A and B are shown apart, each in its own frame.
Chain A
Amino acid sequence: MSSSKDSFIIFLKRICVTSFIILCVSLFYYQIIKGNYYLIRGKNNYVRVIPERSIRGKILDRNGIILAYDKPSFNIAVIPYQIKNKKDGVFAELADFSGLKIKTLNRNYNRKFQNFFTPVDIITDVDKKEAFRIKEEFKGEVLIDPQPQRHYDYPYEMSHLLGYVKEAAAFSERLKKYGYSPNERIGISGIEQYYDDYLRGEDGGDLIEVNSRGRIVGFLGKRNPIRGKDIYLTIDSKMQQTAYQAILDKKGALIFMDSKNGEVLALVSYPSFDPNSFVKGKDEITKFLNDKNKPMQNRAIQSIFPLGSTFKPVVAIAGLEENKLKTSTTFICKGKLNIGKAEFECENVHNDENLQEALTHSCNVYFYNAGMALGRQIMASYAEKLGLNTTTGIDLPYEKKGTIPVPSLRLRSRWYLGDTLNFSIGQGYTECSPIEIMLATNIFASGGILVKPHLIKKIDNLEIATPYGNKLNISNQNLTIVKNGLVQVVESDEGTARMLRPLNLSIAGKTGTAQTSGRPHGWFVGFFPANAPKYTICVFLENGGSSYEALKVAYYFLEKLKEQQLL
């Protein structure tokens, strides 16, 4: 037994010696026989990876009009190893020649430095002529580094919708685990962020050998960058531009959507910003970021506001469904309602009002009574049912959900009857984003379906299926009753939105003037044609004064669409 071990130990020793001899022979081969070859490769030749950025996918509208794309831009780069001893001198001359500050060059250099052999862009986005002029002057020291740069053809019109891109440098640590490289561009806000995985593609590069003067002497390999995928939106760029024109200089949002399938045709928020300046890193950025009107905010989906009378159809459908209201039910409006010592007002003295008339006139007193009959909980549960307490799930980042005084909501103080009254006319705790109330109103157009709003139509050639809406358990009869009321809002001579009648679009809808600190918000939510709705529109004006202002915007927008024969 011990002799078997003994022989194994000898065997093991032989294996060791043999293996080490194999290693020595390989070392001999690489270091002695091919030593000079590798010494030359190592001493005078440097292997370098020249990254080649992938082209980011385009963003196009539903008709194939390009909204965002990559165009070549020219950067001036230096290779740190080449200028390592004369950096300050080169930078001083470059600054002199190009008219830039040395400080800027140094800042770019320090921020983008990766290693001694990867070019660092110190002057970015110069035109082609200027790039060659600089290259001519500083032959050995700089190189032209063409890089794809994002460009937006409709900067202000589309900014909230599309977002913008930025080099990931600033948050590269956080992004590394998602497979982003330090200088890769990443989509920020909007479609650019939401569909970044599709748009970004994959960077490639050349593996080359250069000599100490930076001249390429060998080519070792290449990985082709993979182009990102194109994204086609449901947006109609002409409608989008018209919407932007309509809301210009009025703080607010306008959304225009297909009533049946939730395809968003236009979505604008004003004030707006220029995404191109973010891509180029211009000084205007701070202007946008510091503006107290918050131009970066997408008011259509990222802000919530009191709804005012646009909430009344929700109360109406709740009352009908719960059998607390009938078409024949009337309440008498004397222009106000007294509860204890408090007085709750109405716009007008409407006298006898039934449901349809109350909607037509937007009579507060009717809805105060309806609200008292329903109570807070039932109203809240219907508001929830209609999606006012959740995000709509639109394919844009940072959507904010509305607030509804559901029983679980923490209140500032205890709930009074007066709160119920305020709730019934969309005031008080009720705050929603424009897109939420638009979808809630849309159930009267879609036959009780809470559609899913979306912007994506195609990814490259792949059609994206329409996401299913949520069919609510609400009787068609009741839906029709409220809808008829909404028709009268426009069609009746006393309707609050009668100014839209001349458009001849057979619009149904609801106006709202929401009280808030400062001037009231103006609302209009509607759809048309009323008998077979195709389009749903929502206009919101922050501190716009009244619903009248919102109606003017809606009128302008729809009239222009008619003129352009887009409807």
Chain B
Amino acid sequence: MLNNIARIKSHIKPAKIIIACLILLTVLSLSSIYSSLHQAGQLQEQEIFYKEIMWVVISWIILILFYLLNYRIYFDFAYVLYAINICLLIAVDLFGRSALGAQRWLSIGGFNFQPSELSKIITIFFLARIFSSQTDKGFLKGVLLPFFVLMINVLLIVKQPDLGTALVLVFLFFLMGLASGNKKRYFMAIIIAAIVFSPFAWNHLKDYQKKRLIVFLNPNAEPLGAGYTIIQSKIAIGSGKFLGKGFLSGTQNQFNFLPERHTDFIFTVIAEEWGFAGATMLLLIYLLVINNILAVARYQKDNFAQLLLIGMASLFFIHVFINIGMTLGILPVVGIPLLFISYGGTHLLVSFMLLGIFFNIYRHD
């Protein structure tokens, strides 16, 4: 009896916590985007805000749909989806719409969406399948082959150019690969090879990407260019102090100092308006989500499901850490969104899809 209750309790807990976190994140996201668009006492570019509300609604519907869909289907279709994903990326290369110097969008029926965001979720399926279904764990078939197949995807994304997403995918490879029980030295071998080839890769970066990396190493190198953003970002965050300036009162954001503040730099809005308290609360929410996913993963018997969960937890973690790290100037500005918070439809959709899958796995457990 007591045992039963404990089991039910442990069953309900992670799901409830994550739902609660999701609601909090959604509210925080909409209010921050609203605030970031607020300038000189007026809401500028209202349509952006309404569009985001629509995306949120769609995302919640998607969450329910994915919750209802048996996750084993991803196992069956992992390779097919991966092939489609590559085709989409090639399509972006050929017909994509460009914004801010990068070609990342495909326009379908009036909506612009980014295949590179979609490729994150598909890569998780792909890696989960390849790492869960292999029995022979040699270096060539177990690690190197998946790595090369993944690199097709990564290189297409680098070409767009979307350095942030490409980096995320590489991190996913290492984290999920290590999780699957492959030998650590196999991955070390790849890392060493990558370091040897890095000068070659440097020559293939776009000028603005090189600039960003240089600025990361020395923010004062170019105060009018990319360094400007980091200086402004730090002023915004720092001036929030402990409790923040309050909703719609962040002067740094209100006065148009920060470019892209409703997308990649949305964290500065939160840190300025809600202070250290708000910012750490946000971190805590993320940590709760990640920890609860990992907690469910830990007792998961299906190898594939387990790797899916580890993959999504890793994805959330990498995104949050890199994004916040870059606004604080401790990581380079690579241009990836703050999941669940930043403006933008595709990444929101992808995050909710992943959580839908989480709930489905959780139900089957």
Chain A partners chain B: yes
A residues touching B (Cβ–Cβ < 8 Å)? 1, 4-6, 8-9, 12-13, 15-17, 19-20, 22-24, 26-28, 30-32, 34-39, 41-43, 46-47, 49, 81, 84, 115-117, 205, 207, 220-221, 223
In the docked arrangement, what's the CA distance between A35 and B314, Å?
32
Complex interface: chain A residues within 8 A of B239 (CB): 35, 38-39, 41-43
Partner of B232, one of A17, A28, A47, A223: A47
B175 to chain A, nearest CB (A): 7
**Bound complex: CA A43 to CA B245 (Å):** 11
Asked whether, in the complex, the Cβ of B279 is within 8 Å of the Cβ of A46, the reply is no
Is there contact, CB below 8 Å, between A31 and B237?
yes
Closest to A36 in B: B241
Instruction: Tell me, yes or no, whether B324 is within 8 Å of chain A by CB.
Output: yes
Contact check: which of A9, A23, A41, A46 meets B324 at CB < 8 Å?
Answer: A23
Given the interface contacts A43-B251, A117-B255, A220-B223, does A12 sit within 8 Å of B175 by beta carbon?
yes
Q: Which residues of A contact B240 (CB under 8 A)?
A: 31, 35
Q: How far is the CA of A84 from the CA of B180 in the complex (A)?
A: 61
Contact of B271 among A12, A31, A84 (CB under 8 A): A31
* B234: contacting residue among A5, A38, A115, A223, CB under 8 A: A38
Known: A9-B179, A20-B287, A32-B241. A27 touches B276 (CB 8 A): yes
> Is the CB–CB distance between B232 and A31 below 8 Å?
no
10 contacts between A and B (CB under 8 A): A1-B181, A5-B179, A5-B181, A13-B291, A23-B324, A31-B275, A34-B238, A35-B242, A37-B238, A41-B235
Q: How far is the CB of B142 from chain A (nearest CB, A)?
A: 14
List, in ascending order, chain B residues with CB within 8 A of A30's CB: 234, 237-238, 328
In the complex, B317 has a CB within 8 A of chain A: yes
- Does B363 make an interface contact (CB < 8 A)? no
Interface centre among A28, A30, A223 (most CB of B within 10 A): A30
Say yes or no: is B178 at the interface (Cβ < 8 Å to chain A): yes
Closest 3 CB pairs of A and B: A38-B238, A221-B223, A42-B239
B328 (CB) vs chain A CBs: closest residue: A26
B200-230, CB under 8 A of A: which get 1 and which 0?
0000000000000000000010111001100
List 7 extra interface pairs beyond A12-B179, A32-B241, CB under 8 A.
A23-B283, A23-B328, A26-B330, A31-B271, A38-B234, A41-B235, A116-B255
Q: Identify which of residues 274-307 in chain B touch chain A, using a CB-to-CB cut-off of 8 Å.
A: 275-276, 279-280, 283, 286-287, 290-291, 294, 297-298, 306
- B354 beta carbon closer than 8 Å to chain A: no
In the complex formed, the residue of A with least CB distance to B241 is A35
Q: Do A207 and B242 have beta carbons less than 8 Å apart?
A: no
Contacts A47-B231, A220-B223; A24 near B283 (Cβ below 8 A): yes
User: B314 and A205: CB pair below 8 A?
Assistant: no
B228 CB contact (under 8 Å) in A13, A39, A207:
A207
CB distance from A214 to the nearest CB of B (A): 14
How far, in Å, is B339 (CB) from chain A's closest CB?
A: 14
With A6-B298, A9-B298 known to touch, is A28 a contact of B321 (CB < 8 Å)?
no
Quick check: B224 and A223 within 8 Å, CB to CB? yes
Q: Is there a chain A Cβ closer than 8 Å to B138's Cβ?
A: no
Is the Cβ of A9 less than 8 Å from the Cβ of B294? yes
A220 / chain B contacts, CB cutoff of 8 Å: 223, 231
Report which of B181, B238, B280 forms a contact with A42, defined as CB distance below 8 A.
B238
Q: Are A38 and B237 in contact (CB under 8 A)?
A: yes
Interface SS of chain B: helix
Chain A residues touching B, majority SS: helix
Chain A neighbourhood of B160, CB < 8 A: none
Is B252 at the interface (CB under 8 A from chain A)? yes
Answer yes or no: B40 CB below 8 A from chain A CBs.
yes
Q: Is the CB of A12 within 8 A of B275?
A: no
Q: Is B325 an interface residue (CB 8 A)?
A: yes
A194 to chain B, nearest CB (A): 27
Chain A residue numbers with a CB within 8 Å of B279 are 27, 31
Contact A35:B175 (CB < 8 A) given known A17-B287, A20-B283, A27-B276:
no
Contact B294 A207 (CB under 8 A): no
Highest count of chain B CB atoms <10 Å: which of A6, A15, A28, A47 = A47
Tell me the complex Cα distance, A4–B183, Å: 11
State how many angstroms separate the Cβ of B44 from the closest Cβ of chain A: 12
The interface residues of chain A lying within 8 Å CB-to-CB of B241 are 31-32, 35-36, 39
Q: Is B310 an interface residue (CB 8 A)?
A: yes
Decide if B256 is an interface residue (CB 8 Å cutoff). yes
Query: Which residues from chain A contact B228 at a C-beta distance below 8 Å?
Result: 47, 49, 207
**Least Cβ distance of A206 to chain B in Å?**
9
Residue of A4, A6, A42 touching B252 (CB-CB under 8 A): A42
CA distance in complex: A47, B251 (Å): 12
B355 within 8 A of A: no
Q: Which residue of B lies closest to A26 (CB)?
A: B328
Distance between Cα atoms of A46 and B321 in the complex (Å): 29
Is B269 engaged at the interface, CB distance under 8 Å to the other chain?
A: no
Residues in B with CB closer than 8 Å to A81 are 255
Task: Check if B247 is an interface residue, CB within 8 A of chain A.
Answer: no
A5 B306 Cβ-Cβ under 8 A: yes
Q: Is the CB of A28 within 8 A of B276?
A: yes
Say yes or no: A46-B255 contact (C-beta < 8 A), given A39-B241, A207-B223. yes
Select the residue from B239, B241, B313 with max chain A CB neighbours within 10 A: B239
- B249 nearest CB across to chain A (Å): 11
Give the distance in Å from the alpha carbon of A37 to the alpha carbon of B291 in the complex: 35
> For the complex, what is the distance from the CA of A98 to the CA of B247, rounded to whole Å?
43
- Bound complex: CA A36 to CA B297 (Å): 43
User: Is B236 in the interface zone, CB < 8 Å from A?
Assistant: yes
* Complex Cα gap A36–B224 (Å): 25
Q: How many angstroms from the CA of A499 to the CA of B105 in the assembled complex? A: 71
Task: Give the CA-CA distance A5 to B257 in the complex, in Å.
Answer: 46
Q: Which residue of A lies closest to B101 (CB)?
A: A177
Q: A35-B240, A207-B228 are in contact. Are A12 and B313 (CB under 8 A)?
A: yes
